[in-house]
Amino acid sequence: MTEQVVAVEDLTVAYDGHAVLTDIVVAAEPGRVLAVTGPSGAGKTTLLWAMAGLIRPASGAVRLGDAEVRDRDQTVAAGVALVPQDNGLAAILTAEENVMVALLAAGVPADEAAERTATVLEQLGLAGQADQLVEELSGGQQQRVAIARGLAQRGTVLLADEVTSELDAQNRKLVVELLQAEAWRGATVVFATHDPEAAAACDAELHLRDGRGELVRA
């Protein structure tokens, strides 16, 4: 697979002229999981969205390999998978359909999509929920379906936004291990989290506070 460094260069992001991230510098590297931590409202989601091309910087840039990130179409084409904080699942589709549809939309052949879907649902302990509608699943199960959908993409970059917030300790550990495995596959993984234990299990940590970023572990 193509390996992609996500380089954040003096990034400032503002909403309505008010800066929420100021001069952030960090590089997320293939084979590693970068944790993004910080209190609620510190800008973790904003940083991941800028990496995904969903928000334009006020100044500075995000680079994906040699290319400056401009929009989501570009990052999708480059294999950047995003697991959003709100899951982004279709409530009236089953767990399996949610994963399958995303793969088919990405051009994965049907046979392979079915195989990948079964694999990720199994990995996340959801084989028994494959045919259940998402709206009938618990919050934690829904969160695991969203993670399954992100992992099934086998992207070059995986941006995971607070994907363990509704999980019990055992599933949190499982998900952190799966993010690590995704990095070992060669992906660049960025994981926004409130959970110090989950952050400690990552390879590096960027802590956000008052709009500034500090690399507390590299």
15 touches ligand ATP by CB under 6 A: yes
The C-alpha atoms of residue 103 and residue 108 are separated, in whole angstroms, by 5
Phi, psi of 205 (to 5 degrees): -140, 125
Is 23 in a helix, a strand, or coil? strand
Rounded to the nearest 10 degrees, what angle do helices 169-184 and 139-152 cross at? 10
The C-alpha atoms of residue 61 and residue 69 are separated, in whole angstroms, by 7
Q: How many residues does the chain have?
A: 218
**Nearest residue (CB) to ligand ATP, 15 versus 184:** 15
**Nearest residue (CB) to ligand ATP, 43 versus 57:** 43
Q: Which helix (H) or strand (E) holds 181?
A: helix 169-184
Q: Minimum distance from CB of 175 to ligand ATP (Å)?
A: 17
**Nearest residue (CB) to ligand ATP, 21 versus 158:** 21
Which of the residues 77 through 106 are near ligand ATP (CB under 6 A)? 85
**Nearest residue (CB) to ligand ATP, 70 versus 209:** 209
User: By rule CB under 6 A, what count of residues binds ligand ATP?
Assistant: 11
Q: Minimum distance from CB of 35 to ligand ATP (Å)?
A: 13
4 touches ligand ATP by CB under 6 A: no
The C-alpha atoms of residue 187 and residue 156 are separated, in whole angstroms, by 5
Quote the distance between the C-alpha of residue 95 and its chain's center. 18
Which of the residues 19 through 78 are near ligand ATP (CB under 6 A)? 20, 38, 40-46
**Nearest residue (CB) to ligand ATP, 32 versus 44:** 44
Residues lying near ligand ATP in the complex (CB under 6 A): 15, 20, 38, 40-46, 85
